[in-house]
Amino acid sequence: GAVVSQHPSRVICKSGTSVKIECRSLDFQATTMFWYRQFPKQSLMLMATSNEGSKATYEQGVEKDKFLINHASLTLSTLTVTSAHPEDSSFYICSARDVRWGLETQYFGPGTRLLVL
């Protein structure tokens, strides 16, 4: 299957700082990527849809000014958690939408664990 990478895999930061997470599709172009958040023992919750060349679409309850998404190229989307607080500590996972071969599949990155002190 296709490969999606995330960087960094783990990050620890102080409260009030901003953290940028990168999501890359390594062997295909993705006009659409998705960002999810997973709290301990909970399922993945979709935060936003990242669209190449246009603004991201946020799910209800997700603050767009806090979670900045930039999809500047067909292989890269970034999520910036601005002014992070301890309650933002979570596991962030991205996925990239692959529409090659006439079938739609999403490939997931390995996730980024964020700990805000």
Residues that bind another protein (CB under 8 A): 1, 32, 34, 42-46, 49, 93, 95, 97, 103-111, 113
Based on CB atoms, which residue is closest to another protein, 1 or 86?
1
CB atoms closer than 10 angstroms to residue 60: 4
Write down the least CB distance from residue 16 to another protein, Å. Answer: 26
Based on CB atoms, which residue is closest to another protein, 87 or 103?
103
**Of 3, 23, 9, which Cα lies nearest the Cα of 107?**
3
Write down the least CB distance from residue 49 to another protein, Å. Answer: 7
**Of 9, 10, 13, 8, which Cα lies nearest the Cα of 116?**
13
Based on CB atoms, which residue is closest to another protein, 51 or 82?
51
Write down the least CB distance from residue 36 to another protein, Å. Answer: 8
Write down the least CB distance from residue 69 to another protein, Å. Answer: 15
Q: Tell me if 37 sits within 8 A of 44, measured CB to CB.
A: yes
Which parts of the chain are beta strand (E)?
4-7, 10-13, 19-25, 32-38, 44-51, 57-58, 67-73, 76-81, 90-98, 105-108, 112-116
Based on CB atoms, which residue is closest to another protein, 8 or 16?
8
